[in-house]
Amino acid sequence: MEKMWSGRFSAGASNLLDEFNASIMYDRKLYREDIEGSLAHAAMLAKQGILTEEELKQIQDGLAQVKEEIESGKFEWNISDEDLHMGIEKRLTQIIGDTGKKLHTARSRNDQVAVDFRRFVLRKNKEIAEAIKALMDAILVVAQKHTDTLIPGMTHLQHAQPINFGFHLGAYLSMFKRDIERFESSYERNNISPLGCAALAGTPHNVDREYTAELLGFESVSINCLDTVSDRDFALEILFNISTMMMHISRLSEELVMWSSYEFGFVELSDEYSTGSSIMPQKKNPDVPELLRGKTGRVYGALVGLLTVMKGLPLAYNKDTQEDKEGVFDAVETAEISLEILKEAIKTMQVKTDNMEHACAIGHLSATDLADYLVEKCGIPFREAHFITGRAVAKGEELGVDLSKMDFKYLKEIDERINEDVMEYLGLRHSMNARTSQGGTASERTKEQLDYFKNYLQK
């Protein structure tokens, strides 16, 4: 089979080269973008008098047929066509004859692939942002039910201060909102049309780049063609956006794995989203969050892979760039299924509030409250209050009781300035609700935060 670029060659390509060089087996995913790009380009060529109206009509009809063939599975994808651009153009020419050969006037595969891939990535920035919103909706529903459910707040994975579970989930809502904003800002920044840049230097044909940009839904036209045909920042951005989002998903997953253990027992994932063991009949494994944690690794791989592909490239287009697509396709698919399954796992999980609250009664979670009491009620400087509280904690350890349950007489022994009203301060719910500073865990404050996310999601 003769190649489209075979003019200056006397021998055909080896099969090995075809296999090595081709991207058609995966870039065919971009067929919609490619056909839409060609339709816009042809319409512009006709408007500029470069194609006749009759030729435009033939191209439009031919491309409609190609699209139909692709969608019905009739289209033959051949590795010898190298990429989808040439595969589609070849088929178009088979269908409509010589007019098909005029479509590539004032265009190169370099701007063509830049259009296709950029539009794919832009669309995915939007779709993923929407999918994150759906996940946030599911988290919000659980969070709103648990603004009074105590859970140990931790630092260093050690019990620190009592918080409520809604507040804990609110932290993830904050992360996911930032993720959405990153996808949105990438969309805005990269919504620029490469079409009309041709191979690298622009074209002598009288093209109207504004017109094709408008037809394709781009906000504006790129500034410098040399940059445009070699720029893959938009692809790196979505990979970074997905990586950061997956890092957040992975952190939440790590907590779900821990919380599902007997040691924590804070949640139980539904049977629908848990798996069993082939040997141990009693097992119910949190495969979903574990896989989410694991899949984060391959997404990082795609980001680092493309960063590495790009780092040594001289201007402008280089074939290395063809390596941009598979990692992005894989990362996008990973992001989509991850968001979907995490959402379902959260919707169907059981929150074991009793276990959460029990866990709060271990580890002297209200120690800071005793120190705060000594400062506020007894006028003791914080450093000294910290020391006195440390002694109270040591006493609790010795007696085997949590500070929140300790008999008042022991506290009085430690420092006689302490009065009976301290017992209220040491209560765990009191401790949680005392943290009323802006952004704090007090139930009322948590509810405000969740309302903020609710409003955000309704917009």
**Which residue, 200 or 414, is less far from ligand ARG as judged by CB?**
200
The CB-of-83 to ligand ARG minimum distance in angstroms stands at: 4
Structure tokens at 419: 């009065």
Binding piece for ligand ARG, criterion CB under 6 A, among 234-242, 295-303, 314-322, 343-351: 314-322
Binding segment toward ligand ARG, per CB under 6 A, in 212-220, 242-250, 318-326, 344-352 = 318-326
- Residue showing tokens 């006028």: 379
Q: Could you tell me the two tokens for 122?
A: 């832009």
Q: Minimal CA–CA distance to 271: which of 255, 287, 259?
A: 287
Residue with smaller CB distance to ligand ARG, 21 or 348: 21
- The rounded distance, in Å, linking the Cα atoms of 317 and 281 is 57
- Segment 20-39, which members bind ligand ARG (CB under 6 A)? 23, 27
> What minimum distance in Å lies between the beta carbon of 5 and ligand ARG?
9
Q: Choose between 13 and 393: whose C-beta lies nearer to ligand ARG.
A: 13
Neighbours of 189 (CB within 10 A): 13
Active-site residue (options: 185, 261, 270, 277): 277
d(CA 91, CA 140): 50
Question: Shortest distance, CB of residue 304 to ligand ARG, whole angstroms?
Answer: 20
Distance between CA atoms of residues 185 and 20, nearest Å: 36
Residue number, 161 or 228, with CB nearest to ligand ARG: 228
Which of 10, 156, 278, 437 is flagged as catalytic?
156
Contact 168, 264 (CB under 8 A): no
CB of 325 to ligand ARG, least distance (A): 6
Neighbouring CB atoms inside 10 A of 225's CB total: 22
The minimum distance between CB 243 and ligand ARG, in angstroms, equals 22
> With binding defined as CB under 6 A, does residue 370 bind ligand ARG?
no
* Alpha helix stretches (DSSP H) within 83-156: 84-96, 109-145
Beta carbon nearer to ligand ARG, 26 or 408: 26
Kindly identify the residues of this chain, within the stretch 64-123, that bind ligand ARG according to CB under 6 A: 83, 109-110, 113
Expressed in angstroms, the distance from the first to the final Cα of the chain is: 55
Name the burial class of residue 365, with classes exposed (0-12), middle (13-18) and buried (19+) by CB atoms within 10 angstroms of its CB.
buried
**Would you say 55 or 83 has its CB closer to ligand ARG?**
83
Q: Of 317, 373, 425, 453, which lies in the binding site for ligand ARG, with binding defined by CB under 6 A? A: 317
Q: Which stretch binds ligand ARG (CB under 6 A): 144-152, 283-291, 302-310, 315-323?
A: 315-323
Q: Is 156 a catalytic residue?
A: yes
For position 403 contacting ligand ARG by CB under 6 A, the verdict is no
User: 243-262: which residues touch ligand ARG (CB under 6 A)?
Assistant: none
Sign of CA dihedral 413, 415, 421, 422: negative
The nearest distance, CB 190 to ligand ARG, in angstroms, is 17
Q: What is the DSSP letter of 363?
A: T
> Does residue 277 sit in helix, strand or coil?
coil
Q: Given the rule CB under 6 A, which of 49-57, 307-315, 319-327, 365-373 is the region that contacts ligand ARG?
A: 319-327
**Radius of gyration of the chain, Cα coordinates, nearest whole angstrom:** 31
Interface pick for ligand ARG out of 80, 193, 222, 322 (rule CB under 6 A): 322
CA distance 250 to 442: 27
Strand partners, 14: none
- Quick one: 83 or 255, whose CB is closer to ligand ARG? 83
**Rounded CA gap, 233 and 368, in Å?**
48
Q: Does 321 bind ligand ARG (CB under 6 A)?
A: yes
CA triplet 334, 335, 336: central angle to 5 degrees? Answer: 95
Per CB under 6 A, residues contacting ligand ARG are 23, 27, 83, 109-110, 113, 317, 319, 321-322
Report, as residue numbers or ranges, the catalytic residues: 156, 277
